Each structure stands twice: as C-alpha cells, then as structure tokens.
Amino acid sequence: MKLGQAQKIANTQLDWLRQRKQELTQLLKEGPAAGSSYDRVELSKALSAVEEEYEQTSAIAEQLSAWSMNIQNAEAARQQGEAIAEEAENFMKILEVFRRIAKGDHVPPVDENKLMEYSMEMYMAAKNMALMNRNAEAEDHDSLWGDEEPEETPVDPAELANNTEVGNPVPPVRSSDLPELSADGG
C-alpha cells in the first residue's frame, strides 16, 4: 500500500470514529430524559471502545504523517545537495577556464562565454594575464561543458512520499470489535 493511500484510509477511519464518538456522547448526554432506551453502562463501554480505537488510529495517522514529512525532507535535501554539487562543479570549471585563459592557452568559445557570463571582471583579468603570458607556448583545450547530460526533471517530494510503499500500517476499523448497542437496554 502506498503511503498516500494509507493516510487517506487512516483519515477516513478517524472521521468515522469521530462521528461515532459524537453520536455516543450525544446519546449519553440525552440519557433517559429523551426517552432513550439505551443502557448508560453499555453506552459508556461503547464510547470507551470507540475512543480507544480513535487513539490507536490517531497514533497511526501521526506516524504516517511523520513518515511522509521525513521522506519529503530527505528528498528536498537530496535535491538541494545535488544542486549545490552541480554549482560547485560549474564553479570549478569556471576557475579552470580562467586559469587556462590566463596562462595563454586556447579554449573553446563556449567556455569563454561561460566565464564571461559568470563574471566579466574575471574574464577581463584572465585576458589581461594572457597578454602578459603571450610568449609562453599555448595549448588547445576541449570544452569543459561539451558532454553535459540533459537535466532530469526534479521529483516532487510530496509525490515521492505519497507513492512510497509502506505495507498496510492501518488496521481496518471493524464495527464487530466495537460493542453493539441494543435499543432495549440489554
């Protein structure tokens, strides 16, 4: 069962139990004055059973919510880590292009443009340093950005959490587990 489905089931069960709790509480309040033929002891037992089931289901719903939040946070952190690593890699490429130009080497126009886009000041400084090193032997370099992989579409953390398999953590509410009320008081 997927986490999103389990959360929906738990919330549906909580709604049903909440409604049942309200009905039983109302019957207890009305009591014999409203002509109710339900036994107060029986109503109290039924209310206790519903409250216990509600607490158990509520704890499961909270656990599922925590799992969902943890999965979402982990995915967001992973995506941020990848973005930071990618930016660091690009920065290292920029510095390498700067070094190559400053040394007087020949770099592809794509790489020069990347350096210009990043910082015109760095580009101009590299070109000025290249003028000072023009007597040095120049090497030809391939582009550092030539074999880039196409960007993958980022995964929505909430979608990932909802589609995570979690087994079946939500036991079904069985009305047979809850005491039945008989209108004849016994």
> What is the rounded CA–CA span in Å between residue 156 and residue 68?
12
* Residue-number span of the structural domain to which 62 is assigned: 3-144+157-164
More confident: 128 or 167? 128
* Average confidence (pLDDT) over 57-75: 94
Q: Is residue 109 part of a domain?
A: yes
Q: Is residue 174 part of a domain?
A: no
Q: Is residue 152 part of a domain?
A: no
pTM: 0.65
Q: Is residue 137 part of a domain?
A: yes
| Phi, psi (degrees; rounded to nearest 5) at 147 | -110, 50
> What is the rounded CA–CA span in Å between residue 114 and residue 9?
52
> What is the rounded CA–CA span in Å between residue 101 and residue 109?
11
Average model confidence (pLDDT) across the chain: 85
Report the half-sphere exposure of 177 (CA within 13 A, side-chain side).
12
Per the structure, the count of domains in the chain is: 1
Per-residue confidence (pLDDT) for residue 156, from 0 to 100? 82
Per-residue confidence (pLDDT) for residue 185, from 0 to 100? 45
* Average confidence (pLDDT) over 122-145: 86
Q: Distance from CA of residue 153 to its chain's centroid?
A: 15
Q: Is residue 64 part of a domain?
A: yes
Nearest to 93 by CA among 170, 145, 141, 22: 145
Q: Is residue 21 part of a domain?
A: yes
